[in-house]
Structure 1
């Protein structure tokens, strides 16, 4: 963002001075970011069109098995291409299994998968009926090829996530992982697939499945989340990493944690440095309002807050000292306590430096939020809207809150 685009009052803030000293160039979405960590090869893809190409290449190269967990699987051009590739794989003898969320993919016709089932593939919908688990969403995004390669991140199977960059697309991460820990991801798929096929809707069983998933101390850890009575395994790991952290960087699509997690973030900002890149654009205005409700607290704790402007931000990226989290979980109440999620924890100082640099580059495409600029748009009516949005985003599914924007999609008359 150019200097002219900043409000004049921002020019003398510490946040602005840090932004200018970083001298960041805009993020080049055509570039890949790669790293080698503890016998693993990590590759991050930011271009949606390239994500689709790589997914199709991996599916076409599968020899034994293809396993997919997905929140949204649309019947649009990208979805049809993926299904067609899965069908070809099934016909050559590859085992194909998919677990798809019934609510996130509620508009997708079941007939899309009929040829795949006829070829021997298995497609099962998570939480198919009105039961105690119906408000719990399978929000995961995971693709496994031959129990050897895993692909995860925030993206869904839909044109918006698997198309070349454009103004209305989602800016997201697709991470390809190769290495010994894929066996853990494959074990998790087997467990959630077995639950969905045989025990869908049994809340106590799902809680036990999530609660008993072990948190290991390896350099690459596959962590899961879900409707446990307390924090889920991935949320417990984040909480532990925040306890004594001095550096925090977060690029987050939906940000609306509870007070406990919010205070932990504030303590990191006070004893070290905390930088947040939030969504400035979304198809879900309620989630932006819920995030903005918390900006004042973060700014009072000396955190740097900015909003990404070129397109809709959808990534879920957290860097805490030398640890990086990438996966499907937002930093909100639903992802911390309710939704079934998968996150990869990567403990490696070199990779953390790479990702911290990536977040720094994003800031040149952001609007910096200052105490004054935040106060200027936080009139009493807007704050009421933000508060309502925070409560709704924490309770209902994203596809529902998208329709309840409380007027937040319109220009604020108080600004």
Structure 2
């Protein structure tokens, strides 16, 4: 029995190693600078009230990509809306990640298809390198309605995202509503992901790309597929002159990104990091501790949000740049997942985000070196184990 277990583990390790060496990821796509009107949502109730209303108003098409779609009450409301619009003759496409939405019942999928919703799974694993591909996920969350309104950010579809899960309480996340020419890029990325999942080629269909007005906020979308995000984040950190703020549910940076943060502290840049006190996955909280220790020694400020669960993903650099998107500050987002981030170059929006962060800090506790040194043996053991598996967490 032991021999079989060891053999299987070696097979998985070999599959992972070969997959990483021979990976053929879609290259990073850096979209042009755009100008759009951007609305920030930090609360699931407000987001989904707006989101469901815009879906109800759709007249031509609804394109939706989520990592996770659950089967609870809010998910059923979402499915019912899509089915209603499909029956009205609106083109509806729903793309979900195979792992993230693995528990979606076949009965639900059949019901969606029967009503006219075009449904597909993204990132279904295949041979060769099955286990490596199983570990890669499409983590993007994109919605495009009639080619004129777009959404992107950290929220998925489920009751916890509106604070209805007793285990998590208040769910803090950041999601953007895009109105203006930036929707072109959200549409292009969705259709690219749809083609990868279904082979249906729609990128050249002009009916999905109406003429759009320019908005007021300069921004750029960047889509990555396990390559390129590390360099983008390191570059952001390296250009900071006064302040860096990072918000993420998981903090497991690469060597390059961690080095950039340490260098920023050495040149006097203030570094503030916000993470959740609670964990939603095994070992992810402990995996961050070695990085926290190094940063605390250099004078960084680290806060743990305690009033619910903090799932937001943002980086703010000085007064000039704010990144909000789907990528966590971890190796999985850097080297495995499909992600999409919005880099916003607008001082007014950046100041709005800083006010949001100040509100988060008022409901967070500071992490100190003294606390770190007094961890229990059990916590130290979990930290050691998590370090071994940090690239897969």
TM-score, normalization: structure 1?
Answer: 0.77
Q: CA shift at 1:324, angstroms?
A: 0.8
In 1: Cα distance, 2:71 partner to 2:135 partner: 23
In 2: Cα distance, 1:347 partner to 1:63 partner: 32
In 1: Cα distance, 2:146 partner to 2:85 partner: 12
SS of residue in 2 equivalent to 1:63: coil
**Residues 49, 164 of structure 1: 8 Å contact kept:** no
Task: Give the alignment of 1:12-31 within 5 angstroms.
Answer: none
In 2: Cα distance, 1:350 partner to 1:338 partner: 33
In 2: Cα distance, 1:389 partner to 1:98 partner: 34
Unaligned regions of 5+ residues in structure 2, if any?
1-32, 201-216
**Bigger CA drift: 350-359 or 249-258?**
350-359
**Residues 233, 257 of structure 2: 8 Å contact kept:** no
- 1:221 maps to which residue? 220
**Bigger CA drift: 184-193 or 355-364?**
355-364
CA pair 169-111 structure 1, distance change in 2 beyond 3 A: farther
In 2: Cα distance, 1:380 partner to 1:262 partner: 26
SS of residue in 1 equivalent to 2:100: coil
- 2:343 maps to which residue? 345
- 2:177 maps to which residue? 176
**Residues 42, 178 of structure 1: 8 Å contact kept:** yes
1:253 has 2:235 as partner: no
- 1:214 maps to which residue? none
Deviation string 1:14-36 (CA, Å, 9 cap, x unpaired) is xxxxxxxxxxxxxxxxxxxxxxx
Task: Give the alignment of 1:356-367 within 5 angstroms.
Answer: 356-367=354-365
**Residues 152, 327 of structure 1: 8 Å contact kept:** yes
* Number of aligned positions between the proteins: 337
1:84 has 2:80 as partner: yes
Q: CA shift at 1:266, angstroms?
A: 1.8
SS of residue in 2 equivalent to 1:160: helix
Q: CA shift at 1:380, angstroms?
A: 5.7
In 1: Cα distance, 2:257 partner to 2:245 partner: 15
- 1:332 maps to which residue? 330
Deviation string 1:140-189 (CA, Å, 9 cap, x unpaired) is 11111111111111111111113469752432122211111110111111
Q: CA shift at 1:70, angstroms?
A: 0.8
Q: CA shift at 1:193, angstroms?
A: 0.7
Q: CA shift at 1:59, angstroms?
A: 0.7
**Residues 154, 174 of structure 1: 8 Å contact kept:** yes
**Residues 225, 337 of structure 1: 8 Å contact kept:** no
- 1:241 maps to which residue? 236
- 1:121 maps to which residue? 117
- 1:103 maps to which residue? 99
CA RMSD of aligned residues (A): 2.1
Deviation string 1:308-344 (CA, Å, 9 cap, x unpaired) is 0011111111112211111111000000111011111
Q: CA shift at 1:291, angstroms?
A: 1.5
Q: CA shift at 1:285, angstroms?
A: 4.2
Q: CA shift at 1:39, angstroms?
A: 4.1
- 2:15 maps to which residue? none
**Residues 313, 328 of structure 2: 8 Å contact kept:** yes
1:316 has 2:317 as partner: no
In 1: Cα distance, 2:223 partner to 2:34 partner: 21
CA pair 381-80 structure 1, distance change in 2 beyond 3 A: closer
**Residues 59, 66 of structure 1: 8 Å contact kept:** yes
CA pair 99-157 structure 1, distance change in 2 beyond 3 A: same
SS of residue in 2 equivalent to 1:176: strand
Unaligned regions of 5+ residues in structure 1, if any?
1-36, 200-217, 397-415
In 2: Cα distance, 1:328 partner to 1:118 partner: 31
- 2:13 maps to which residue? none
SS of residue in 2 equivalent to 1:220: strand
1:282 has 2:279 as partner: yes
**Bigger CA drift: 301-310 or 350-359?**
350-359
CA pair 174-165 structure 1, distance change in 2 beyond 3 A: farther
In 2: Cα distance, 1:359 partner to 1:93 partner: 42
In 2: Cα distance, 1:156 partner to 1:334 partner: 18
Task: Give the alignment of 1:330-409 within 5 angstroms.
Answer: 330-377=328-375, 382-395=379-392
- 1:149 maps to which residue? 149
SS of residue in 2 equivalent to 1:43: strand
CA pair 182-391 structure 1, distance change in 2 beyond 3 A: farther
CA pair 114-165 structure 1, distance change in 2 beyond 3 A: closer
